[in-house]
Structure 1
Amino acid sequence: MNLREQIEPFYERYLRWQCRQIPDHIAIIMDGNRRYARMLGAGTITGHRAGAETTTRVLEWAQELGIRTITLYSFSTENFRRDREEVAYLFELFKEKFISILSDERVHKNHIRVQMIGDRSMVPADLLQTIEEAEAATRHYSRFFLNIALAYGGRNEMVHAARRVVEGVRDGQIDPASITPRTVEDYLYDGIHLPPVDLIVRTGNERRTSNFLPWMANGNECAVYFCAPYWPLFRKIDLLRAIRVYDQRLRSA
């Protein structure tokens, strides 16, 4: 065991002590899988597989810390422009993970509700069926919430919500004079548990939020934490540092 491995557990406990207030909802932009693979001199698939393993660990840490809602930016509408083979592999990986939810004892033991946010019309039929099966199997859970942003775009979801509000007005279901922010919110996430975002975390040394959850994050003026590690290298220490930023912001408010 090297010096870093010896020190990290103590530093982790110190960070945990500093985090007096834990966010209810953290949204994560998981960036850097491909760059991690290039760093290793490996193919892109290696990076995505390593990133999926990190995701599993992060979800376990979130439960330990009492974070009730995690939203993961898994695949954006812009990602469809990537190499066709890479996109196909990612869809297979997503399908594999959603299938595993059905029999994952941790999901059912901890009562984790799994939901997708994004444009379902853009998702392949076989993957969408698997997603809906996972959603149905966890629909009655309410202790923790895992939201997967797939085929997601912030502007896209705002446009869809606007269309639905306009349709409601046209059909006489909505009085234009009674439209409030809550009205828009209801049409954005109908049936989805998506509370205001308290903290956005982005890995991979990118300092932008990429139009992620603009209504629930920017509208809530949430804390933002950018960090250098590629997503496969993200550690519990990095998560705790992010939470410390959230905690410090609340204290200084």
Structure 2
Amino acid sequence: MLFDKFNKRKKTIPSNFLERMESIRERPVPEHIAIIMDGNGRWAKKRALPRVAGHHEGMKVVRKITILANKLGVKALTLYAFSTENWKRPKTEVDYLMKLPEEFLGTYLPELTSENVKVQMIGYKEQLPSHTYRAVEKAMSQTENNSGLILNFALNYGSRAEIIEAVKSIVIDTKSGILSENKINEEIFSNYLMTKGLSDPDLLIRTSGEIRLSNFMLWQLAYTEFWFTDVLWPDFSEEHLIQAIEEFQNRQRRFGGV
């Protein structure tokens, strides 16, 4: 059965959970989901724990949400893991966050590989510690031929910087004759972004009750459906993902039309 792994957890999930999963697959599923994973620090503070404990717990949530999204037929899952502004945080916290990709991929890469998940990354790798990027690069290499869900980490990513770099590249290509300015359109511009090859997100999820984009995929989210929740990321469950997708499926997307 498609959802055998979830059958083992019937005591911890709603009785109709599997039926809802099957129902979701019978309707258009968001092809690309983007998530701003917020609230790790507040989750830890509520429990009188160091902030890094929240980040560690949030790492576990990434695994289960990735597996479920893949089972549901989602094609891409982009996770805002570390922004270009997050370098302003205390050094001890930044250092820990830079170790998480190694720990996450070292622990879960075999399972992700068996689930046919393909790991990708957007962001500025040059500023990342070498050990951080090596872990991501290894995962990308080992999963490059997988054809299931694309697990896309936004790591040292900032949308304004991405857009500025795209404009610079377009100017260079226009001046060199590679690109005619008369042919520049939305499709051409999108091809200069880090998300080239990915469809724009259909659904954006942000946890922790914050209602803002925080410099995340500003171009790509132009017609995305937003779903905000007060749930802190370490408490985000498969049930919450199901709720978000069900609400998405009940919305009417007009893309500026009527």
The reply to whether TM is greater than 0.5 is yes
| Letter paired with 2:210 | E
Superposed displacement of residue 13, structure 1: 4.8
RMSD of equivalent CA atoms: 2.2
Between the aligned partners of 2:106 and 2:22, the Cα distance in structure 1 is: 37
Which digits, 9 at most, give the CA deviation of each residue in 1:102-155, with x for residues without a partner?
xx3332223221111012222122222222222222222222201000111111
Please tell me whether residue 70 in structure 1 is matched to residue 77 in structure 2: yes
Residue correspondence of structure 1 range 9-48 to structure 2 within 5 A: 9-10=14-15, 12-13=17-18, 15-16=20-21, 19=24, 20-48=27-55
| Letter paired with 2:175 | R
Between the aligned partners of 2:23 and 2:138, the Cα distance in structure 1 is: 40
CA spacing shift, 1:11–1:202, aligned 2, 3 Å: farther
Identify unmatched segments of 5+ residues in structure 1: none
Is the contact between residue 18 and residue 244 of structure 1 (CA under 8 Å) also seen in structure 2? no
CA spacing shift, 1:89–1:242, aligned 2, 3 Å: same
Between the aligned partners of 2:138 and 2:185, the Cα distance in structure 1 is: 33
Please tell me whether residue 212 in structure 1 is matched to residue 216 in structure 2: yes
Between the aligned partners of 1:177 and 1:228, the Cα distance in structure 2 is: 45
Superposed displacement of residue 17, structure 1: 6.5
Between the aligned partners of 2:230 and 2:23, the Cα distance in structure 1 is: 21
Which digits, 9 at most, give the CA deviation of each residue in 1:34-79, with x for residues without a partner?
0000000111111111000111111111122111210000001111
Please tell me whether residue 96 in structure 1 is matched to residue 103 in structure 2: yes
Please tell me whether residue 179 in structure 1 is matched to residue 188 in structure 2: no
Residue correspondence of structure 1 range 105-116 to structure 2 within 5 A: 105-116=110-121
Q: Which residue does 1:140 correspond to in 2?
A: 145
Normalised to the residue count of structure 2, the TM-score between the two structures is 0.87
Of 37, 60, 71, the match for 2:67: 60
- Which is helix-richer, 1 or 2? 1
Percent pairwise identity = 32
Residue correspondence of structure 1 range 142-157 to structure 2 within 5 A: 142-157=147-162
Q: Which residue does 2:168 correspond to in 1?
A: 163
Q: Which residue does 1:229 correspond to in 2?
A: 231
Normalised to the residue count of structure 1, the TM-score between the two structures is 0.88
Is the contact between residue 204 and residue 228 of structure 1 (CA under 8 Å) also seen in structure 2? yes
Paired residue secondary structure (2:64): helix
Paired residue secondary structure (1:210): coil
Between the aligned partners of 2:215 and 2:50, the Cα distance in structure 1 is: 28
Is the contact between residue 15 and residue 237 of structure 1 (CA under 8 Å) also seen in structure 2? no
| Letter paired with 1:195 | S
Between the aligned partners of 1:195 and 1:156, the Cα distance in structure 2 is: 20
CA spacing shift, 1:139–1:7, aligned 2, 3 Å: closer
Superposed displacement of residue 15, structure 1: 4.8
Identify unmatched segments of 5+ residues in structure 2: 1-9
CA spacing shift, 1:245–1:84, aligned 2, 3 Å: same
Superposed displacement of residue 16, structure 1: 4.0
Superposed displacement of residue 231, structure 1: 0.4
